[in-house]
Amino acid sequence: MNRRLAIVLLGAGLLATLTFFAFEQRPAAVPRIGFLGYDSRIQAERLGAFLEGLRALGYEDGRTIVIEYRWAEGRFERLPELATELARLPVDVIVTAAPPLVRAAQRATTTIPIVMSVHDPVGMGFVGTLARPGGNITGFAFQDSELSTKRLDLLRQAVPNLSRVAILWNKEGGGTDAVRAVEHAARTLGLQVLTLEVQELSDFTTRIAEATSWGAQGLIQLASPFITKNRTTLLELLRVNRLPASCELREYVVEGCLLTYSASLNAIFRGMASFVDRILKGAKPGELAIEQPREFELVINLKTAQSLGLVLPPSLLAQTTEVIR
């Protein structure tokens, strides 16, 4: 009996040793990152900046990490389905930007870390505070109300004797707080304001017609993925109606808007890679303070200014980070 017991114990010990050795030799699972985007064409440059940030930290898609992409391609109704797909894979972290996308990810999971870039995340209910977000969401935050107020001042510098300005917005953008902030800033500057909301594609024609009938001499476009998706329609209406505008992003200005002042989204997306790195190394998203952008850009389309008959003051041109000719 003792001899048999010894053989059994010896065999069990050998099996345990071999099993332990096998587990020790098994390669660690490659982290999987979910990237939830609203349009692969619009966000291609942002994605490139994010991948650049990952490479700088030693990550390579397909080798040290795997990135699962889900693109809504402008169909926002697909966002819940796409976010749920990523959560069910599952991925180790979800990266996304803009309120409707962050909201879809938030509803899809309360446990998978989410790295975001969004306006006013506290006001929108994504995080508790900027210093200690709590929950599973962290990333970057910037206030569209502050940026839009700055855009208003720049538009006033660009358009002589500006007295009437229209505000174009969509509820899935910076929200009503941004609208109220720009309205207040405009009135403080002695400007009359007409606030116009767009909810569907046909609204653009109607709203720009309202603005021109009212006598608007300029337009401020507030942050909105919906407006960005339909910016070609907006920019053509601005061109036909000869309406100077200050827009949300550089892409608008490249395509014909007069000017923009915005946080550098490329810098933000590179910075989002740092959040992913810290989370993959064990940091809890709820304990990673929300960061503010440090790089900003003023872009002006000089060709658009000339077509509108505007002679931009040297003091304004001196502030630009890029001039589109």
pLDDT at 133 over 70: yes
H/E element holding 8? helix 2-25
Whole-angstrom Cα distance, residue 149 to residue 242?
Answer: 22
Burial of 281 per CB tally in 10 Å (0-12, 13-18, 19+): exposed
Write down the pLDDT at residue 28: 60
257-299 confidence digits (pLDDT tens) = 999 999 999 999 999 999 999 999 999 999 999 999 999 999 9
Q: Which of helix, strand or coil describes residue 32?
A: strand
Whole-angstrom Cα distance, residue 193 to residue 70?
Answer: 39
Write down the pLDDT at residue 23: 42
Q: Residues near 126 by Cβ (< 8 Å), separated by ≥ 6? A: 102, 103, 106, 116, 118, 133, 137
What domains appear along the chain, each with residue ranges and CATH number?
A: 32-142+264-294 (3.40.50.2300), 144-263+297-324 (3.40.50.2300)
Whole-angstrom Cα distance, residue 94 to residue 92?
Answer: 7
Whole-angstrom Cα distance, residue 256 to residue 273?
Answer: 31
Whole-angstrom Cα distance, residue 311 to residue 303?
Answer: 11
The whole-model pTM stands at: 0.84
27-61 confidence digits (pLDDT tens) = 468 999 999 998 888 888 899 999 999 999 999 99
